[in-house]
Structure 1
């Protein structure tokens, strides 16, 4: 019988999909520090952040960056 490679729905009730993102070394260090402190994966830290009001257009527009995408 072939192995089922699909990810089963987790705590969010949805299956996760693999994706790639690019982050600065500083951002990676911050995500890793939070993940380690909370006993989570990088993926779960990012998922939780995205599901908070932090991912609000008005809030994001107030955050100053260098303009790189």
Structure 2
């Protein structure tokens, strides 16, 4: 668990920050994963969707593949 100082989050993220309009998507995750997203968003002072966008663009998908491969090896 991360222990950092939370920054106030904006209500909405910038719609054209990455040169594209953002669209709503729906997916299901565990409560723990949702809390992790909240903690990162609070720490960075961004919205939940921006925290996810940053994680994905920052190599999060590669990390997910590595995580899955490690789980298979256990």
TM-score normalised per structure 1: 0.68
* Equivalences for residues 37-52 of structure 1 within 5 A: 37-52=43-58
Structure 2: gaps of 5 or more residues? 1-13
Q: What root-mean-square deviation, in Å, do the aligned CA atoms of Structure 1 and Structure 2 show?
A: 2.0
Higher relative contact order (CA 8 A, sep 6+): 2
Paired with 1:9 and 1:28, the residues of 2 have a C-alpha distance of 22
CA pair 9-34 structure 1, distance change in 2 beyond 3 A:
closer
Counterpart Cα distance in 1 of 2:20 and 2:65: 29
2-side partners of 1:14 and 1:50: how far apart?
A: 15
Tell me how many residue pairs correspond in the alignment: 56
Report the Cα distance in structure 1 between the residues aligned to 2:60 and 2:45, rounded to whole angstroms: 21
Structure with more of its chain in helix, by fraction: 2
* Cα deviation, residue 54, structure 1: 2.3
Deviations along 1:7-59, whole A, 9 cap, x unmatched?
A: x8521010001100111000000100111111111100001111122212xx4
**Residues 37 and 61 of structure 1: CA distance in aligned 2, closer, same or farther (over 3 Å):** closer
